[in-house]
Amino acid sequence: MLKKISIDQIRQGMYVKEVCAPWLNHPFWRSSFLLKDAKDVRRLTEEKSIREVWIDTAKGLDVAREEVPDSVEAAVEQVRIETAVRSQPPPTVSFAEEVEQAAKTCAMATKAVKSMFEEVRMGNAVSAEAANELVEEISSSVYRNPGALISLARLKTADDYTYMHSVAVCALMISVARQLKLKEDEIRHAGLAGLLHDVGKAFMPMEILNKPGKLTDEEFAIVKGHPAEGHRVLVEGKAVGEIPLDVCRHHHEKIDGSGYPDRLKDAEITIFAKMGAVCDVYDAITSNRPYKQGWDPADSIQKMTDWSGHFDQKIFRTFVKCIGIYPTGSLVRLSSSRLGVVLEQSTKSLLSPHVKVFFSIKSRSHIQPSVIDLSNHKCEDRILSKEDPATWGIENLNEIWSGLLDFPQSLSPAPAP
């Protein structure tokens, strides 16, 4: 039975079904858990933002009889109401408004995925409940602003690459599934598939995954085993459905049949595995790795366009609609002889995103940054080309678009210099 109790009623041996606080604010990466020791109780009670929790008395201890709050029926009804409220899509916001929250979500989700992988390494099954909680948080950020978390997840370090990659692919899968107008349950399963697609890498030696140079043939053969290993552990855990199982095993298949592990061809590959292939590759090639710098987002889109036989073209076109021809983080040259970095996409045109201008080509120097909406009918500026930051000596491009540099912003059709 479910009961909502105040935090001062919590005690060791209770099964917490849900913490009545935002996921980012409570100290546990799982949404439901058994309070096995006093340390966990202290972690809950010391968190000032937590005043109430839901407990499941069928799985753990109950409160003392005199402390029982409302009736079970009332408690269950409250769960239904709160769940209904949480299921409503959050309002959309600008990149600038979402980027701070997205950074927190990305950091916490990465930590949670790391814990999940560690449990898998120890022989434990993946917790579908915990994984779905992560998908819900990532999905909320994507709904508010699709570009913020997806772009921030590209800023990886060598140590957290595998885990942040899982978060990024989850967000990309949700975005593509929404663009394809799939059903809500299919969107959730697509997100879960993205989160778990690389779980087989939990069994790969870290010295191979983080190797700073090119892999040998023997090492690459080991890495190629991760889809089958991931599929195996998910099947044994019996916690996820067909879509995550399919994407886990088949996200490295290619429509020309040259992929692995099953060398499937076009019609043999599901729409979800085709989505997984595009999302996995895009995040991989745009992220910094131990052995190479990530490619520019716009360059990556161009290169992926030229890879004949790799991707399903309908899925790839849908993917481009999600992230843009000039994705967030792309350096572009404007007709006003300025350089700018793309912040987010416009709903009006893939060729007219919001751009933060910060560099004068004429003087070859930085200028006071401002954010312009190229789709604004009053704006006469336009993108002429994508540019290589190295050509202009720009070394802090990621900090500029992600807001890590404290630049003032004003969204307006700024006049040309």
Residues contacting 85, CB < 8 A, separation 6+? none
CA dist 256 and 250 (Å) reads 14
Predicted pLDDT of residue 97: 85
Containing H/E element for 323?
Answer: helix 313-323
CA dist 49 and 26 (Å) reads 8
CB 203 within 8 A of CB 227: no
| 157-192 tens-digit pLDDT | 777 889 999 999 999 999 999 999 999 999 999 999
| 243-292 tens-digit pLDDT | 999 999 999 999 999 999 999 999 999 999 999 999 999 999 999 877 77
CB 288 within 8 A of CB 317: no
Predicted pLDDT of residue 65: 55
| 344-367 tens-digit pLDDT | 998 889 999 999 999 999 999 999
CA dist 226 and 201 (Å) reads 5
Predicted pLDDT of residue 198: 97
List, for the chain, all residue ranges whose pLDDT scores fall below the cut of 50: 66-72, 75, 79, 81-87, 405-417
Q: Please report where in the chains the tokens 């995103």 appear, as a residue.
A: 353
Predicted pLDDT of residue 173: 98
Class of domain 95-323: mainly alpha
CA dist 398 and 404 (Å) reads 8
Task: Report pTM.
Answer: 0.78
